[in-house]
Structure 1
Amino acid sequence: MTAASGDRPYKRIATEEAFCPPEMLERYKRLIDEKAVDDIGFNSMWGFYSSSDSARCRFIRDHLTDVGDVRLAHMDAAGVDFAVLALTSPGVQVMKAADATEFAAYANDWVADAIARRPDRFDGLAACAPQDPAAAAKEIERGVSKLGLKGVIINSHTQHQYLDDPKYWAIFEAAEALDVPIYLHPSSPSDGLIKPMLGRGLDGAIWGFSVETGLHALRIIVAGVFDRFPKLQLVLGHVGESLPFTLYRLDYMHQASFASGRYETMPALKRRVSDYMRDNFHYTNSGVAWEPPIRFLQETIGVDRVMYAMDYPYQYKPEEVGELEAMGISAEAKQAFFQDNARRLFKLKV
């Protein structure tokens, strides 16, 4: 046990903790300055975060690139024993295909080196470049088999395109074959979604991220991805991007829509939407340190599929861990939430 774990019979594992090499922030700044990316959300978000001198922006920039003593001190102050690191959004997905493929490999090597220095505190997920699905599949295999990374990070849409398109399914095939999960993490909404949100500042974590990622997850489900890859596991943060709270309606209206024959793009599925959400998804509470939705997920989806995450450094509230320790759930459910589910899903040795 680490010093942070004290007398608890379990460790607290945080499963959605962002990082990036310093070179990626430099590249983002250059892409924005050169107006090289056709993406309203990226240019708005990173145009601000890469240049603002606000305390929040400086904290995020400084701590995304730190996987050493400062991050460890913050983990200790919060009572987090172990972190699963993932390349921050939008990762390489705004870059040109060749550049993205090259930088994904660099980022994976970079985080693997950080993990090797502190394997008692860190593990991580492999980045890839969906722009070139075949190369992405190869990088996933390298990241998992050679570097020892524990899954895949995909930061939602890739230049306004979604993974339900079969041209991307080599990524799903690779993850299923390697028996590792894909963390479907938010990104700024695609251009088709963002404009009404941006006008009132709702495009980011306050709401737009969940709309974007929830849409992406539903597109994957209704496209039949899990009928083609039945063992594939995806992870959704932020208590499931709100989707679990509408399971009844998702089931009813999906069945009604299919029966109506209105959409040629809606194939028959072998199971209900809620079945896939219970059997092919895991969930973290990242950014939502609030007992009611966590308990709802445990009761509705299953105690064995809900995990802890902080969402560092975008959300760092040291006292939240103690607040979640005080949840009125069984000792077994608490241990599953903080430790056991993450250990099993990501095959962690901590």
Structure 2
Amino acid sequence: MAEANTPIAKVNYLRIATEEAYCPPEMLKIYRKILDDRSVDDPGFNTMWGFYMSGTSARARHIITSLQDLGEVRLNHMNESGIDKQILALTSPGVQIMDRDTAVSFAITANDQLAEDIARNPTRFAGLLAVAPQDPASAAREIQRGVTKLGLKGVIVNSHTHNEYLDDPKFWPIFEAAEAHDVPIYLHPNTPSKGMIGPLLERGLDGAIFGFGVETGMHVLRIITAGVFDRFPKLKIVIGHMGEALPYWLFRLDYMHKATVASNRYDTMRPLQRKISDYMRDNICITNSGVAWEPAIKFSQQVLGIDQVMYAMDYPYQYDPTEVAALDNMAMSDEDKKKFFQTNAERVFKL
């Protein structure tokens, strides 16, 4: 964790951070029980949360403390870094590591608590509702309740659920409900699924350094190539970390998708109505969470469109006020910088 060395400059836009994690203490108790009972065979979860919940390092203590706080600690950090508003989302893996009944119940509890916390600081916080993909019908109902009754601004899905991905049609009621209520799904990383984590874990590459991006980028491509956006053309999905590297692969993705479909090699890869890059530009928005790097931001704006790229900090996993100052100083027009920090988020999340 880094501290601010100099005051953050005043600017003519709001800084809205769009991928900011929180964790109710009650959820940590459930995680602790899962770890103690060894009731879930998930190497990624056991490794990551075993570290954070037993670690004594400054990083582990900062993350556990900050995740649970929606009051003084978090607001002070926001003030120190010049963040006007955070869009809060249940930290990964959220309820998706739990059994079905616990997940359904706790998602409702977490959403109620989040709405109450936002009501205490409505100018500083907005929120994404949690759902339990373990029960897609229940998840769809919770989207309706969270949007219409609680005023939440989108849906958080922490990638795979017990090694299953949303391209399976059994999960599509979640897409249908999000499209019907005109709210985005934020597809956030999870630790890689059991089938892909091995070589990453061996070298410590399973987390945010690489594994998160590989896992979530693959998930997005599964969704696109399964035809989800042909079925739900108005659906919006948000992904972080500069688009999990996908903007830089667009040329090859388009070329090889076309070639692979033509080859008839895979029954699961069928023709789509548009190119992969078209869905990335029209149905996907990205945030720069954890990537405070001007060249990457500008490239994504160039290939996806200036309206598709938004600011995020990735708090508390990445908290460095100097990164905010660096992005304030990007060589970019005032109009485009305001879209990046403020108005794109206001449009996508209907703030």
Q: TM-score range by the shorter chain?
A: over 0.9
Number of residues of Structure 1 aligned to a counterpart in Structure 2: 345
Asked whether 1:290 is paired with 2:296, we answer no
Match of 1:195 among 175, 195, 198: 198
| Kept after mapping to 2: 8 A contact 1:5/1:12 | no
- Kindly report which structure 2 residues correspond to 1:233-272, keeping only aligned pairs within 5 A, or say none: 233-272=236-275
Which SS does the other structure have where 2:105 is aligned?
A: helix
Map of 1:127 onto structure 2: 130
Asked whether 1:82 is paired with 2:74, we answer no
Asked whether 1:146 is paired with 2:149, we answer yes
Asked whether 1:63 is paired with 2:30, we answer no
Which SS does the other structure have where 1:193 is aligned?
A: coil
Match of 2:166 among 154, 163, 169: 163
Letter in 2 for 1:274: S
Q: TM-score, normalised by structure 1?
A: 0.97
Match of 1:136 among 126, 134, 139: 139
Map of 1:210 onto structure 2: 213
Letter in 2 for 1:31: I
| Kept after mapping to 1: 8 A contact 2:9/2:325 | no
Shift of 1:268: 1.4
Runs of 4+ off more than 2 Å? 4-9
Q: TM-score, normalised by structure 2?
A: 0.97
Shift of 1:5: 9.0
State the alpha-carbon separation in 2 of the partners of residues 65 and 112 from structure 1. 15
What CA deviation, in whole Å up to 9, does each residue of 1:301-340 have, x standing for no partner? 0110100000000000011111001101111110000000
Letter in 2 for 1:284: T
What CA deviation, in whole Å up to 9, does each residue of 1:31-89 have, x standing for no partner? 01100112111111111111111111111000101001110110010011000000000
Match of 1:36 among 25, 39, 45: 39
Map of 2:334 onto structure 1: 331
| Kept after mapping to 2: 8 A contact 1:181/1:232 | yes
Shift of 1:9: 2.4
Gap runs ≥5 in structure 2:
1-6
Map of 1:174 onto structure 2: 177
Aligned-residue sequence identity (percent) comes to 64
Asked whether 1:318 is paired with 2:321, we answer yes
What CA deviation, in whole Å up to 9, does each residue of 1:208-254 have, x standing for no partner? 00000000000000000000000000001000000110100000000
Gap runs ≥5 in structure 1:
none
Asked whether 1:17 is paired with 2:26, we answer no
Map of 2:3 onto structure 1: none
Give the CA RMSD over aligned residues.
1.0
What CA deviation, in whole Å up to 9, does each residue of 1:143-162 have, x standing for no partner? 11100000000000000000
| Kept after mapping to 2: 8 A contact 1:5/1:11 | no
